[in-house]
Structure formats: C-alpha cells, structure tokens
C-alpha cells in the first residue's frame, strides 16, 4: 500500500511539474499575451538599436545598474554603451531563430536563440548564442536589467559569406 501511495504521489507530482515548465525557444508554436509581445518587440528593437549603434536609445532602455555578460567578461551599463559607441563590439546583425518570454510579476525573462554577426576588435565573426534578457517593469516602463550571451554548441545557421567561428 505504501509503495502504491508513493508511486501515485510521484506520478501526480511529475504531471504537475510537466505543466509548470518554462516557455523555451523552439517549443511548439505559442500565442503570446500582450505583455509578452511587448517584451519580444522591445528586444527586436534593441537588436536594431545595437546594430545602428544607437546609444541614446539604448541608454534609456538599460537600467542604471544593468549588467552585461559576454564571452570575454562582464561589465555594467556605462562600459557597454562605451563599447558600442567606440566600436569595440559592433552588433552588426542578430538573426533570431526562436524566442520565449516568461513573466514573473514585474520581471520578464526573454530567451533568444540567435546567430550574431558582430565585429569585435576589427574582426567579423558569427556565433550561435542563447541570449538571456531580463527586463524589469517600474512605473509602467520596461527596462533591461541584464543581458547574457551563452555560446550554443549548434552550428551557425546564418547564411552569409562571412568568416564563421
């Protein structure tokens, strides 16, 4: 009887957890709430601002204590804006293959499966990344609190004639 109860409990708990999974890029097609779509649109706009080196708009998007995690290190808002403005990293093109948003109160976590074509230190490179963006809503406005690039092991999908790493 005790084994049956434990087995039933584990089965029930497993079913509950299977319904509580986070949304991930590349999962079955999903409809987004208005707030989730707002975050997806904001992220898309951010990629364009980064490609255009539009540091004025990015300055308004990035929270004062925003953190950035790259392959080569991590830093804050001022250094990220200076890196973009000075051309040390030019986010030339982000090709997004999948995106998902999970909202927890006033915090949104967006995951982007991307190929990023960038110019770093004068060299053009393309990498596959899972990018984690954290947005915080204050006074009805979303601001970025964190941007993290995690290298993916999949091959680059982006079709270009550029050097690929």
- For residue 59, what is the domain's CATH number? 3.10.450.50
In a domain, 130, yes or no: yes
In a domain, 34, yes or no: yes
pLDDT on residue 3: 55
In a domain, 158, yes or no: no
Residues 84 and 49 sit within 8 Å (Cβ to Cβ): no
pLDDT on residue 31: 84
In a domain, 114, yes or no: yes
| pLDDT average, residue stretch 131-158 | 95
Q: Edge-to-edge strand order for the sheet containing 89-104?
A: 73-76, 62-70, 141-151, 123-138, 107-120, 89-104
In a domain, 165, yes or no: no
In a domain, 156, yes or no: no
Taking the C-alpha atoms of residue 107 and residue 143, their distance in angstroms, rounded to an integer, is 10
pLDDT on residue 163: 44
Taking the C-alpha atoms of residue 70 and residue 120, their distance in angstroms, rounded to an integer, is 12
Tens-digit pLDDT profile for residues 48-94? 999 999 999 999 999 999 999 998 789 999 999 999 999 999 999 99
pLDDT on residue 108: 98
Quote the number of domains for the chain: 1
Domain of residue 110 covers 2-151
In a domain, 70, yes or no: yes
Residues 110 and 39 sit within 8 Å (Cβ to Cβ): yes
In a domain, 20, yes or no: yes
Tens-digit pLDDT profile for residues 100-144? 999 999 999 999 999 999 999 899 999 999 999 999 999 999 999
Assess whether pLDDT exceeds 70 at residue 18.
Answer: no
Assess whether pLDDT exceeds 80 at residue 37.
Answer: yes
- First-residue to last-residue Cα distance in the chain: 58
**In terms of pLDDT, which residue wins out, 49 or 164?**
49
Q: Is the pTM of this model over 0.75?
A: yes
């Amino acid at each position: 009887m005790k084994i049956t109860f434990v087995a039933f409990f584990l089965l029930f708990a497993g079913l509950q957890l299977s319904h509580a999974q986070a949304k991930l890029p590349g999962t079955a097609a999903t409809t987004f709430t208005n707030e989730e779509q707002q975050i997806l649109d904001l992220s898309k706009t951010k990629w364009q601002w980064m490609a255009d080196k539009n540091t004025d708009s990015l300055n308004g998007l990035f929270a004062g204590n925003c953190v950035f995690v790259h392959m080569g290190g991590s830093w804050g808002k001022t250094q990220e804006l200076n890196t973009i403005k000075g051309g040390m990293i030019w986010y030339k093109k982000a090709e997004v293959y999948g995106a998902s948003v999970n909202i927890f109160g006033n915090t949104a976590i967006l995951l982007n499966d991307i190929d990023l074509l960038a110019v770093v230190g004068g060299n053009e490179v393309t990498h596959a990344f899972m990018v984690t963006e954290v947005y915080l809503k204050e006074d009805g406005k979303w601001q970025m609190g964190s941007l993290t690039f995690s290298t993916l092991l999949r091959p680059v999908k982006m079709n270009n004639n550029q050097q690929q790493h």
